[in-house]
Amino acid sequence: MVFENPVIKELLSKVRVLWALRHATSLMAWDTETYMPREGSTERAIASGELSVLSQQLILRPEVIELVEKAEKQEDLNDYEKGVVRVLKRSIKIAKALPPKLVYELAKTSQEAVVVWREARKKNDFNMFKPYLEKIVDLNREAAEYLGYEEHPYDALLDLYEEGLRTRDVDNIFNVLEPGMKKLLDEILSSGAFPREHKLEYIKYDQSAMEKVNLEVLKILGFPLGTRARLDISAHPFTQHMGIKDVRITTRYEGIDFKRTLFSVIHEFGHALYELQIDERLMATPLARGVSLGIHESQSRFWENIIGRSMSFVKAVYPILSKYLDFIKDYDVDDVYTYFNVVKPSLIRVDADEVTYNFHILLRFEIEKNLLTKEIKVEELPEIWSNEMDRLLGVKPKTYSEGVLQDIHWSMGSIGYFPTYTIGNIVAAQIRHHILKDIPDFYEKIEKLEFKEIREYLREKIHKWGSTYEPKELLKRSFGEEINPQYFIDYIKEKYILRKI
């Protein structure tokens, strides 16, 4: 048995309803992006609002708080039981700290801001979005004060998305990453081995053929389609889990540049596999989900970049691509590999390659941190954005839409989310380092489409624990060390300079 302590067991039975509410709201979120009739959005919004308030009320029930306090004092709790206490204490702390009025204001502002942001991006009108962003920054600043922090107000926000992550940690990461990657990027660009564009980017594909490619790739990766998983279509790809046995991913088909849909599928597969491989004994408990956004992103990036963009994988999927996509016959394995690994300093984060991606995050991290401490103002963002993009990547946006207005996150009220992307990139490279020690024929296995051992490795090291250990502890237990950006630099060097991957 995983849970034996009677107080923990009572606590779990009391909070199972919270899991059930999350199950329901996850399904609502999935449905909103996939099958909901257009005008259903009005009632969906009302229902989501009500259920989110209800969740807050249920986590703050006096009997739950008392049980958590009682559980904390129990002796001989096992790691799972300690995990339950940790996760619930954290939820209670956050729910208690934020005044309902602030939560309501933030939800209301974001709801409006997302609509305005879409319009503003379309019209390239920063001034339209400015007052909303200012309000969102103010509300987040207020939230940080309520949540509390030791060193930096941004710590309080980072922790919402990545438990235990501090501003100082992110500073330390970028202090290594920025100079290391800047040097590598210059080298890669001047070597010319990885060109800035590829003909395949401009080739149109047939959607139904591409759907077959995606399904076949998912099958070889080990996605339990139909039994425990689904693939659907949505405007923006995402993963949503209703539970350990019901995890759904989506992709989109733009009809051109097939790697975009292919890599979105592999990326979401990585997220999905994390949820699918959680220990079934944790089902319907607070531990039954990936522990943080950063660790989650490490899984998606591991499959998308470490595996999916490797030469071994290109060799392995080349027959699938040729089987369904007529135009592939004009391109060999090397062409496809080059196409998958174009390196180009560019303006849009979501289109960035793995070499330049983290610079986009650095820019956003610096902006968020400084907005919070009022060192910069929202109105200065377009100029800062332009200057920093130039400094970091040598490109300058010509419009707000391809600059400060490109991401949805701020309009949704999220400040402190972006750094989790870089955490994911680094941890993926770090896992690669360790898996190569434990599975020395890692790349041979990929080439032979043998993913079982790789999936099992990830299950043991990361997935099966769900939220049992906080991110830092999970890494320490599984790999005996903390997050280290050097692994990412080494990986990029090995691949793009030494050309060994």
Residues in contact with its own copies, shown as a per-residue x/- string from 276 to 295 under the rule CB under 8 A: -------xx-----------
Estimate to the nearest angstrom the gap between the alpha carbon of 284 and the chain centroid.
22
Q: Which of 17, 103, 116, 203 binds its own copies (CB under 8 A)?
A: 17
Q: Is 420 in the site for its own copies (CB under 8 A)?
A: no
Shortest distance in whole angstroms from residue 228 CB to its own copies: 5
Residues 212-251 interacting with its own copies (rule: CB under 8 A):
224-230, 232, 242-246, 248
- Look-up: residue for tokens 């009809």? 255
Using the contact rule CB under 8 A, the part of the chain among 27-35, 199-207, 309-317, 338-346 near its own copies is 27-35
Residues in contact with its own copies, shown as a per-residue x/- string from 357 to 396 under the rule CB under 8 A: ----------------------------------------
How many Cβ atoms from other residues are within 10 Å of residue 79's Cβ? 13
Q: At what angle do helices 126-147 and 79-97 cross, to 10 degrees?
A: 120
Shortest distance in whole angstroms from residue 464 CB to its own copies: 17
Residues 311-340 interacting with its own copies (rule: CB under 8 A):
none
In this structure, the dihedral spanned by the alpha carbons of residues 62, 65, 69 and 72, taken in order and rounded to 10 degrees, is 150
Using the contact rule CB under 8 A, the part of the chain among 26-34, 190-198, 266-274, 432-440 near its own copies is 26-34
Residues in contact with its own copies, shown as a per-residue x/- string from 51 to 90 under the rule CB under 8 A: x-xx------------------------------------
The residues near 429 (Cβ < 8 Å, ≥ 6 apart) are 306, 487, 488, 490, 491, 492
Shortest distance in whole angstroms from residue 168 CB to its own copies: 39
Contacts of 218-225 with C-beta under 8 Å, sequence gap 24+, read 218/265, 218/269, 220/316, 220/317, 220/320, 220/449, 220/451, 221/266, 221/269, 221/273, 221/303, 221/451, 222/273, 222/451, 222/452, 222/455, 223/249, 223/269, 223/272, 223/273, 224/276
Phi and psi at residue 277, in whole multiples of 5°?
A: -100, 10
| Token couple for 407 | 């991401």
Shortest distance in whole angstroms from residue 329 CB to its own copies: 31
Residues that bind its own copies (CB under 8 A): 16-17, 19-21, 23-25, 27-28, 31, 35-40, 42-44, 46-51, 53-54, 224-230, 232, 242-246, 248, 283-284
